[in-house]
Amino acid sequence: MRFLHTSDWHLGRSFHRVDLLGAQAAFVDHVVATVRDRGVDAVLVAGDVYDRAVPPLAAVDLFDRALHRLADLGVPTVMISGNHDSARRLGVGAGLIQRAGIHLRTDPAGCGTPVMIGDVACYGLPYLEPALVRDELGAPKGGHEAVLAAAMDRVRADLAERPHGTRSIVLAHAFVAGGEPSDSERDITVGGVAAVPAGVFDGVDYVALGHLHGSQVITERVRYSGSPLAYSFSEADHRKSMWLVDLAADGTVEAERIDCPVPRPLARIRGRLDALLDDPALARHEQAWVEATLTDAARPADAMARISARFPGTLSLAFDPEGADGEPHTSYAQRLSGRSDQQIAEDFVAHVRGGSGPDDHERTVLRGAFDAVRVDDGVREVAR
């Protein structure tokens, strides 16, 4: 069986106020062409189809057209909801849509019920918010690892009842230990822990992951496809791609990276303004989307106008003066990169206290507040 693993489309998302809908439409064209030209037997989309719970109408229209085109190919498609999606909205009409071969898996209760594609059992595990699904899944405690383990127990129990030789695929939207995050993913930390061990998925032939935006191999059987487009400058060095995976009859996995269309390259440049304007080595970035960090001791006049004259695609301009207090050569965005909401809040407490960070009790209070916000958001979404 040959399948195409992709995720994190984030339809409706912009890039520093630049509309990406045209680039996202080009990606859908690319998916359809790949399925048609490479003999794909199934398409897997591992969550974050949309960028937010209530997406703009243009994004909904693009998604609708994508579903029709995939259905017209006669190739089954399995999609799960991610932490950016509204599971209830994405799953509306799932029972009818599956008649066209589009399988939307957004209900945690269905974790142990696979989509059968020939003799391959394909299990869709939507994003599992621990506080909302713990009781339903019978997890002994909260946290991402516990609820994913409970979901995988259902998968393995169902698989044990299948005929010998049944191959298995799991779609999941999670932060698996060993993965490298970027600035683009929304923090899903619960109780101070976000990552789950790859071993939680033991017992299946392939795990198609979503959430992290960089294409990554956790193990040969556990992979992130990454997002098809860059959604922050932290992804400037990413190679945006999908996995074309061949799953042999004996469960052997062979995977090939299929590059995605790049609407415009990204560049991060740093230095004094005059040097950036004069450096011939930077000519290759003149048609890129640019994040420029100026290190002049004093803020130059008309900096954005001057940098844009050479680099018209400049979307972000930061100042990090040489010799200033703080970490050298590090912009504010870079200092926040890879830090959870909890860590940022603790840093803020230390900042306003002149360097004295929160004690253990205060850390617990902060952690509880962030967890409560996520639960409240989830409850409001379910209520809709």
pLDDT at res. 268 = 97
Residues 6+ apart with CB under 8 A from 237: none
pLDDT at res. 358 = 85
Residue 194 has pLDDT above 80, yes or no: no
Least confident among 41-45, 276-280, 286-290, 351-355: 351-355
pLDDT at res. 326 = 53
Percent of the chain at pLDDT > 90 equals: 77
Cα(40)–Cα(247) distance, integer angstroms: 11
179 or 351, which is more confident: 179
Residue 103 has pLDDT above 80, yes or no: yes
350 or 96, which is more confident: 96
CATH 3.60.21.10 fits 2-259, yes or no: yes
Report helix, strand or coil for 254: strand
Task: Calculate mean pLDDT across residues 209-222.
Answer: 97
pLDDT at res. 367 = 83
Residue 34 has pLDDT above 60, yes or no: yes
Q: DSSP character for 323?
A: T
pLDDT at res. 353 = 66
pLDDT band at 213 (very low <50, low <70, confident <90, very high): very high
Residue 169 has pLDDT above 80, yes or no: yes
For the whole model, what pTM was predicted?
0.83
pLDDT at res. 379 = 56
Cα(343)–Cα(193) distance, integer angstroms: 12
Percent of the chain at pLDDT > 70 equals: 90
Q: Where do the H-state alpha helices sit in the chain?
A: 21-37, 57-72, 87-90, 94-97, 130-137, 144-160, 273-278, 303-310, 332-336, 341-352, 360-383
DSSP states of 337-373 = TT--HHHHHHHHHHHHTTS----HHHHHHHHHHHHHH
CB 327 within 8 A of CB 335: yes
pLDDT tens digits, 123-146? 999 999 998 999 999 998 888 999
CB 374 within 8 A of CB 190: yes
pLDDT at res. 175 = 94
142 or 46, which is more confident: 46
226 or 351, which is more confident: 226
Cα(173)–Cα(226) distance, integer angstroms: 11
Q: At what angle do helices 360-383 and 130-137 cross, to 10 degrees?
A: 70
Residue 147 has pLDDT above 80, yes or no: yes
pLDDT at res. 343 = 83
Residue 189 has pLDDT above 80, yes or no: no
322 or 189, which is more confident: 322
pLDDT tens digits, 307-356? 999 999 999 999 999 876 555 455 555 666 667 888 888 888 876 665 67
The residue ranges of DSSP E strands in 134-288, in sequence order, are: 167-173, 206-210, 216-219, 222-224, 241-247, 253-259, 266-271
CB 218 within 8 A of CB 176: yes
Across the chain, what does the average pLDDT equal?
Answer: 91
pLDDT tens digits, 233-262? 999 999 999 999 999 999 999 999 999 999
Cα(122)–Cα(265) distance, integer angstroms: 35
